[in-house]
Every structure is written in structure tokens, then in C-alpha cells.
A = this chain, B = another copy of it.
Amino acid sequence: MKDISPTVTTGPLPASRRVWHKGMLHPEIRIPMREIDVHPSAGEPPVTVYDSSGPYTDPRADIAIESGLPRLREGWLAARGDTHAYDGRHVKPEDNGFAEGKRLVPEFPVRHQPRRARDGKAVTQMAYARAGIVTPEMEFVAIRENLGRKAAKQALMRDGESFGAEIPDFITPEFVRDEVAKGRAIIPANINHPEAEPMAIGRSFLVKINANIGNSAVTSSMAEEAEKMVWATRWGADTVMDLSTGRNIHNIRDWIIRNSPVPIGTVPLYQALEKVGGIAEDLSWEVFRDTLIEQAEQGVDYFTIHAGVRLHMIPMTVGRVTGIVSRGGSIMAKWCLHHHRESFLYEHFDEICDIARAYDVSFSLGDGLRPGSIADANDEAQFAELETLGELTQIAWAKDCQVMIEGPGHVPMHKIKANMDKQLATCGEAPFYTLGPLTTDIAPGYDHITSGIGAAMIGWFGTAMLCYVTPKEHLGLPDRDDVKTGVITYKIAAHAADLAKGHPAARIRDDALSRARFEFRWEDQFNLSLDPETARSMHDETLPKEAHKVAHFCSMCGPKFCSMRISHDIRAEAQKEGMAKMAEKFREGGALYLPLESEEEA
């Protein structure tokens, strides 16, 4: 195996430690967080931040890609007693695009029997939530979202505009249960992916981000994809979508899921299409159904299903500037058109739900008709599909399936809020999961930025998860650097949204970093930032010496002009002089200040 094993990035981030909080309702659970130490001179406790990186950043963890991660949730699932292991579907040659010999990516070395629900039961977090059960997953999420803060006796100082999202001072397991029961949040957690650390997607919680990875017919390998997954979560990806479209899809996915600490999403249609040789019109419900089971058994946590693309909507796209830009949407449109039939995804959605509820695969109802340009934003086709997604949400909820809704795309700023408002109204407050949106079309190469603007705004308005866009969008497949740039950009957008929504834990990190900045604690500034490596290397480009890490100035102004330093002088003088009293005199009128003798001496 050695020669094909992917190597992945491990080790802690600077000054950081992975720490664990214990459950109360479920004392057996341990919830990971990251603590960032600050310099002793600050006299401040470490800063606790959300940690999506899994065991890879824990030097005590024994990482062996060939074995996969520890199966964290296995005991929790067994304790529920409502699932059973079974033989599962046999892997077929078409699952890997008929790759053979050297071209076949090896199977993942450890085989686990898949589990599914007994007797047609729903084993979804939503089913439990509705039954009043607070699962370990729910408590895990509650503690994780609080970032280690304790329930405050008094109401916290709050500052923000949440546009109707319910953001409590302290998140209880019961609050999580209630949000999941109402369908306002999901915990994507396939029973066959027990390695993942539970997380929630919902607008009452911290805004999450997704990173897309995946090989294509043209480029990239399994080793690269496994590393991209680890790399993306290291920098903060909360979920990862595997959008592979080439050969070896099945085996690559196994390697990814077995080693992923975050939920994995897919678009099963891509693999189904590979199985029929890439001919959209040859797709059938049978092939698609088989693919759903294949992927559910592997442990995919959420499926993008483009069931909202219906035959009558296709003509609405004909006059568009950029037609249908969603791959799934265009495949289904082609199928519908060729057969002159309603989409098999729409017609069989009920059966799709039956599969999903047996494994707790969440739905990400795909926006197959999302706008691909500013010109097409908020058009008839887009909103017609959204209405259908609302219908499908009700069907899924009736089966206790967890649902989120995918959103655009390319949308100018003044049309963003309408998307959020319409989604909330149409889809019963199911979580919204948007790609960007991109706020202009004119900057290929910088679409992480064109879309980061839209993402921050729609995140503030209520989008629960933001799908990243990398600089290579529209131009090529992202490499490792692009993945990092995309993730950091979207962490910025998500965090800016958390701040604006008034999430009680959001500002702690900003304030800690700003204090470090004001006090010239350079190392703390780097360590508290989203990307310590880049911050440090940019600083060192101009002022490389170690001595400059403790310098009370920086290269922008040099020592003489430093405003921060002057501010410190002012603060010191203020303490000496009794500024408040002095200010009082000046508050009225602008007359020249003539100090009194007595004050001069004070």
C-alpha cells in the first residue's frame, strides 16, 4: 500500500492546541476545539475557536490514512439500536468508470459493513428531534457552537442585526433539538460516516463554509484529493463536497470519507452519468437509485439532488445570457428534453427520501437553474425552481429527512436580499446553502473576491452555509493554494456575517487580535489570524529580523510616525492628566483652551 498512500498535512497551527470539552447529557462525548495561546504579557486567557480540522492538527493523534480516522460515533449509533449492519451492495466495474489494472485506484484497505435502518424506520436526526430525543450529536453541536462559553447568568451585551434568526445567548442541546425538529437546522451525519464530528447548518448557528474538491476527466489524482480534503478542513472548511467526475469515483470517495472529520457531500448524478458513459439521455431512475445506495452505504452525508429542474421550466432558460450553468441542472434538462418527460428525480423524490431516511443522508436540494451571470439573476427560471424546492422540502420533511436548499450563483448586490427572503418564505426556513453569490462577472481569476462580497452579505441575511469559490472558478481546477485561498476568503465572509448577526462568541477573536495589534504583540497577531503563515511571511518580507517581532512599530510608518505608539502615549498622559475632567471643559464650544494654574500642577 505504501506507494499509493496519500500523505496529508498534519501538525498544529501556531500556538494552538486541540482541546476537548465533555458532554453533560452524554458524558461519553468529547467535543474538540482549538485554543490559541497569547503571550503571557497580555494577561489574557487563550482564545477558543471552532475547530473543523479533526485529529490531523493534534500531535497526539495517530494518523494512518490506510486505516482511516477513529469511528467516533460508532458507539452512539449502536446504542440507539435502530440500525443493523448488512452485506451491502457489491462494487461494480462501472462504479469506478471501468478503470482497471494500474489505472484503478486501489480499494480502501479496511472494509466496514454498511448499516441501515431496521424495519423502514427513520434514523435521521430530524426523526429523533421530533420524537423529543436529544442525541449525542445534538449535544455535541450545542457545546461546539458555544465555543466553550458558559451559560451567562445575566443577558449578554448583544450587538447585531440577525434579520429574524434566533440566536440565543447560550446554545443548549434542547435548542439544537428544537431547531432540527423544525427543519431550521440540519446535522448532516450519515450513519455510515461515524468518523465525522457532528456539526450543524442553520441560521441560528455560526455560518458554515463548504469547500469543493474532486477530480475531473481532465486532471487530478486520488492522493491530491485526499490531501485537498485535509487541507481544506485545516483552514476551516466545515463540510467538503466531492465533485469528482472522472474514473475511480467510488474508490477515491472511500479514501476521502474514511479520513474525513467533516461531513462529505456529493452530487450522485455525476457518478450516475459516468455509469451510462456520459450520455445524459441514457440516465434512468434505476441507475440513479443504485448510485444513491452505493453512496449512502459509503457514508456520504449529504446529496445534492436536482429534483427542482422540471420540464416546463426549461424554456424559461432559453432567453438567458448564460443558459443553465449548473452541471446537474443541465444534465437533467437535457434528459427531460430528450425524453419529453418530467424529471425522474422529481417523479421519484418520494423514493429518494426513503433511501435518505434509512441512512440519514441529508438533502441539499440543488439549484439546477441558478443564474450564471448578473444578467440572469432572480429570473423566472430561478424562482420557479425555488418554488419546487419548497414543495420538495415538505415531502422530505414528511419523511423525517433533513433538508437544506442550494442557492445562487451570480447576483448583483441589490438583488441578494430578495433571494434570502424568498428562500425563507418558500422553503419553510430550511437552511439556505449558497454558492457566493458572485456580485459581478468581470473578474475571472478573482471570483473568490467577487463572490466573497456576496457571500458575506447573504450570510448576514441568513444563509447557513456558504459554498466557497476559488480564484480558479471559470478558469480551471483549484490546486492546493487555490483551495486555501477559497477557504480563507469564505472564513472571512462567514465570520463577517457572524459579527453582523450578533453571534455572542464572534467578536472575541477580533477583539483579542486587535488588542494584540494595539500592544505590538506581533506573534499574537499572526497566531490569532485566520492564516498565521501568510500574515507572518508578509510581515517578514519588509522587517525580517526577530527583533522586529517585538518592535513597537512596523514598516508602514516606521518608528517616528507610529499612530499606535502615539495612542499609547496619549493613554499614558490621559491617566496622568485626568482627561475626563479636561474634556468636560472642551465639550462646549471651540474656544481656545487656557489651562488654569491648579490644573497645570495636577
Contact = CB atoms under 8 A, between A and B. Distances in A.
A72 interface: no
Interface in A448-484: 448-450, 452-453, 456-457, 460, 471-472, 474-477, 479
B492 A443 contact: yes
Interface stretch (A6-14, A181-189, A248-256, A504-512): A504-512
B218 A346 contact: no
Interface in A393-410: 410
A592 interface: yes
B321 A472 contact: no
A315 B511 contact: no
Given A218-B555, A442-B510, A496 B327 contact: no
Interface string A279-299: 010000000000000000000
A592 B344 CA distance: 10
A130 interface: no
A456 B439 contact: yes
A312 B449 contact: no
B531 A443 contact: yes
Range of interface residues on chain A? 35 or more
Interface stretch (A195-203, A332-340, A419-427): A332-340
A326 B567 CA distance: 10
A91 interface: no
A316 B580 CA distance: 8
A453 to B, nearest CB: 5
Interface stretch (A98-106, A222-230, A539-547): A539-547
B500 A337 contact: no
Nearest to A568: B323
Contact of A216 (B479, B489, B531, B555): B555
A131 interface: no
A471 B325 CA distance: 32
A270 interface: yes
A187 B453 CA distance: 29
Q: Which of A324, A449, A479, A525 gathers most chain B CB within 10 Å? A: A449
Nearest to A600: B340
Interface in A529-587: 529-531, 534-535, 538-539, 541-543, 554-564, 566-571, 573-574, 577, 579-580, 582-583, 585-587
B449 A492 contact: yes
A356 B582 CA distance: 33
A331 interface: yes
A440 interface: yes
Interface string A432-444: 0000000111111
B535 A475 contact: yes
Contacts of A414: 159-161, 460, 499-502
Interface string A504-530: 000101110111011000000110111
A579 B571 CA distance: 73
Given A446-B492, A535-B475, A557 B327 contact: yes
Interface stretch (A61-69, A107-115, A372-380): A372-380
Given A245-B557, A541-B476, A373 B492 contact: no
B499 A531 contact: no
Contacts of A341: 592-593
A321 B507 CA distance: 12
A428 interface: no
A511 B340 contact: no
A524 B530 CA distance: 36
B492 A326 contact: no
Interface string A310-325: 1111111110011111
Given A337-B577, A340-B582, 17 more contacts: A218-B543, A218-B555, A329-B563, A331-B561, A334-B570, A337-B570, A346-B590, A414-B460, A439-B456, A443-B491, A443-B531, A445-B534, A446-B492, A448-B449, A453-B457, A453-B496, A474-B517
8 contacts: A245-B557, A278-B561, A280-B566, A315-B582, A316-B583, A318-B570, A323-B567, A452-B452
